Structure 1
């Protein structure tokens, strides 16, 4: 059973529907006391970094998420903004992130040529930078592509924490991992067979 955390920001229905389509049980939950019982967690996110962290802090979710991630070490997957929340900080705001993976969230603007539109939106290719259970069997695809919508990107401090990279004006870490904690910048729930494979892999971890 995968617990999808509802803190008020994310495509919860779309994510749950994809899990249902691939035959994986999931539940949407906002109650910290119930999240304490989760055996596997998905942290979604759409919107701004500070707003998301503020909601997580105000709803009493940070403490239980830290407990699950760092002490119990249950598998956790952050997607889109949810991945950025795993990092130490973001140029989008002033609040600290969860800090589970040593990394920074940076703005594309000022770092890429103006011929590249921001936000980075649409399908783009990913390449493996390190092996991970989350990306198992990706080599069966002739080309692995995911759907992106983001104006900020993640840069890990240690390359062993990068598991996928993508090029958009520059190379950025499009999926990351630190032990039981995983992140994906793209939207698996909008990425058809590629997203299904990633969700299937997460369900097996």
Structure 2
């Protein structure tokens, strides 16, 4: 069973619909017992870092996510990538999950590019990994974000250029995450979701 963790941020049915192209064994839930029993977890999300962490703590999900992410495959998407980190410029008063060392920074407006980044951009694959298997270097994916992650440990598996080169995908053991939206990225995005299902 794959559980898409519902912490009241983002359009989770889109992720479920994409996964249902490959398996029916998917459920959206915030039930702690179901999260513990799941074979794999997905942490999606759209919105603000601080709101996400407030919801996660209020719903009693923080500790269970941290515990289970150490035992089974977990895929973070967009905001779900960012909250894996320790802290964010978006809300310095809220700590992230701290599963990945590093921080989340805001794009500066001095590059002449619009913030947020919205639309298609390519990725540069940096090293071997599980989640980008069968993805060709320079493939395009769909992004919507004003903030980017800056890891302080060696977890970057792909980068993207948007005025600066930033980390767009990470992998650390069984934890993996993308800044882009696989569920909105057509065939290449579906390959990523299929790779995750098949882990």
Short-chain TM bin: over 0.9
Deviation at 1:183, TM superposition (A): 1.0
| Native 8 Å contact 2:53 2:83 kept in 1 | yes
Structure 1 segments (4+ residues) deviating >4 Å:
none
- Aligned partner of 2:37 in structure 1 is 37
Question: What residue number does 1:126 align with?
Answer: 123
- Structure 1 gaps of 5+ residues are none
Q: Distance in 2 between matches of 1:63 and 1:165?
A: 29
Alignment of 1:47 with 2:47, yes or no, is yes
> What TM-score do the two structures reach when normalised by structure 2?
0.95
Q: Who is 1:10 aligned against?
A: 10
Query: What does the per-residue CA deviation read over 1:144-167, in whole Å, with 9 as the maximum and x for residues that have no partner?
Result: 110000000011112x30011000
Displacement, 1:24? 5.4
Give ranges in structure 2 of 5+ residues lacking alignment: none
What does residue 154 of structure 1 align with?
149
For the residue of structure 2 that corresponds to 1:50, the secondary structure is: helix
Deviations 1:160-203 (A, max 9, x none): 30011000000000001111111100111110001100001111
The residue that corresponds to 2:95 in the other structure is 96
| 8 A Cα contact 1:24 1:203, kept in partner | no
Find the counterpart in structure 2 of residue 87 from structure 1: 85
Whole-angstrom CA distance in 1 between matches of 2:167 and 2:21:
28
Question: In the aligned structure 2, how far is the partner of 1:50 from the partner of 1:96?
Answer: 8
Q: Answer yes or no: is 1:201 the counterpart of 2:195.
A: yes
The aligned length equals 198
Q: Distance in 1 between matches of 2:160 and 2:61?
A: 31
**Contact 2:3/2:34 (<8 A) preserved:** no
Instruction: After TM superposition, give the deviation of residue 30 of structure 1 in Å.
Output: 1.0
Q: TM-score, normalised by structure 1?
A: 0.93
